[in-house]
Amino acid sequence: MKALKFYFENTKGTGVLATADSNGKVDAAIYSRPHFLEEDKLAFIMRDRLTHHNLTSNPHATFLFIENGPGYKGKRLFLKKIREEENPELVGKIKRRRYTDENQEPKFLVYFTLEKELPLIGDGTK
């Protein structure tokens, strides 16, 4: 997990978090890189929107990360939600973007375990 933390701290790109509700209706949304807060867990900061709602009925998600640059390089992370918390102080401490959020809508810190990691293209075998 330390190598993955290093990768995301040092690699620029675009992330997409895909979720589905309990009926299998899929959603995908642009998301920032994950936060690595505990040794074997990662988290995303979420507003109370469709992605967050889907995770209340189906804990599985996939994070697709496409590296900036030519070609198709990146990661696919298969995740399972384990818990969440509404902790404005912690969210403010770990968020990467520093801007005034006049909306002040609730933000959740949603924790996941990593079930599988694959490259962006292929099954990880060569």
pLDDT-based confidence at residue 93 (cuts at 50, 70, 90)? confident
pTM for the model stands at: 0.89
Question: Across the strands, what pairs with 28?
Answer: 18
pLDDT-based confidence at residue 54 (cuts at 50, 70, 90)? very high
Q: What are the sequence ranges of the domains in the chain?
A: 2-119
Question: What whole-number distance in Å separates Cα of residue 82 and Cα of residue 110?
Answer: 8
64-75: per-residue pLDDT in tens? 999 999 999 999
Question: What whole-number distance in Å separates Cα of residue 44 and Cα of residue 35?
Answer: 6
CB distance 110 to 42 below 8 Å: no
DSSP state of 103: T
pLDDT-based confidence at residue 101 (cuts at 50, 70, 90)? low
Question: What whole-number distance in Å separates Cα of residue 123 and Cα of residue 83?
Answer: 28
Over pLDDT 90: what percentage of the chain? 76
pLDDT for the residue numbered 66: 98
Question: What whole-number distance in Å separates Cα of residue 35 and Cα of residue 40?
Answer: 11
pLDDT-based confidence at residue 103 (cuts at 50, 70, 90)? low
Architecture in CATH of 2-119: Roll (2.30)
Buried/exposed 15-54: b ≥16 CB within 10 Å, e otherwise: bebbbbeeeeeeeeeebebbbbeeeebbbbbbeeeebbeb
Of 10 and 93, the one with more pLDDT: 10
Closest CA to 20 of 81, 107, 72, 92: 81
2-37: per-residue pLDDT in tens? 899 999 999 999 999 999 999 999 999 999 999 998
